[in-house]
Amino acid sequence: MGIVAVPLFVLAFGDPQPALAALLPLLIAADVFAVVHHWGTWDRLNLRHLLPGAMAGIAAASGVIYLFGRLEGQKRGLEAAIGLICVAYPLLEVMKLRWAPHWRLRSGPAVGAGLGMAAGFVSTFAHAAGPVTSIYLLAQHLPRQAFIGTAVIFFFIVNTVKLIPYGLLGMIDTSTLWVGLWLGPLIPVGTWLGARLNRGMSERVFRVAMFVIVVVTGAKMLWG
């Protein structure tokens, strides 16, 4: 649900670039605490399939930011496409359960690399790769802890690597770092609450909750 922070930061800063730069250190801080909470629970095979594509996606998005800037029309088009996918996915899942209950999107180098690249690109461009990654991991029918653990370590690696292009593009400066210093103490509180809620949910409630979050996030992107 961290995607909600992106539009709030953009509203606060009035400009997407410093908003994204200020949010990135906070995301990494949250990732660190989340990795500690979920250490060793990730699925290594899915990480091997996702991460190479994610690195390529980060490089591609960094090139777009450098060459063309953050063009508002392109950003809205990208968000609309992700929103449509997020809204459509639960409907497709219901149809699959009805007519093809034994089929699922299987993990593999090609599928993982493609969705990993999409996640890396969208994450660099708008910190909005949560839905893309959720769609891939939900399709694997991983246990709850493995799902969370894989997502946590994936985004820790992706967000840390993003520091390099953000720094080279001049997006990170002292003002964005000060925001991190002021808001940083709230990060462990949020990650503790998230971890506690995750451990207290049943598998069924967790899966329904994830679908609802994906749909709401997609609808928000379409509305925006």
Give this prediction's pTM. Answer: 0.76
**Structural domains counted in the chain:** 1
Residue 2 lies in a domain: no
Residue 7 lies in a domain: no
Residue 5 lies in a domain: no
Beta strands in the chain (DSSP E): none
Residue 198 lies in a domain: yes
Give the domain extent around 100.
15-223
pLDDT digits (tens, 9 = 90+) for 134-184: 878 888 888 888 999 999 999 999 999 999 999 998 888 888 888 888 888
Residue 79 lies in a domain: yes
Token representation of residue 168 = 């080279």
Residue 1 lies in a domain: no
Residue 8 lies in a domain: no
In angstroms, the CA 138 to CA 140 distance is 5
Half-sphere exposure of 175 (CA within 13 A, CB side): 7
Residue 76 lies in a domain: yes
Query: Which SS3 state, helix, strand or coil, does residue 42 take?
Result: coil
Token representation of residue 84 = 């449509």
Write out the chain's pLDDT in tens, 224 residues: 666 677 777 767 767 778 888 899 999 988 998 898 889 999 999 999 999 999 999 999 898 877 765 555 556 665 666 667 667 767 776 776 777 666 666 667 888 899 999 999 988 877 878 878 887 888 888 888 899 999 999 999 999 999 999 999 888 888 888 888 888 888 888 878 877 877 777 777 877 777 787 777 777 767 76
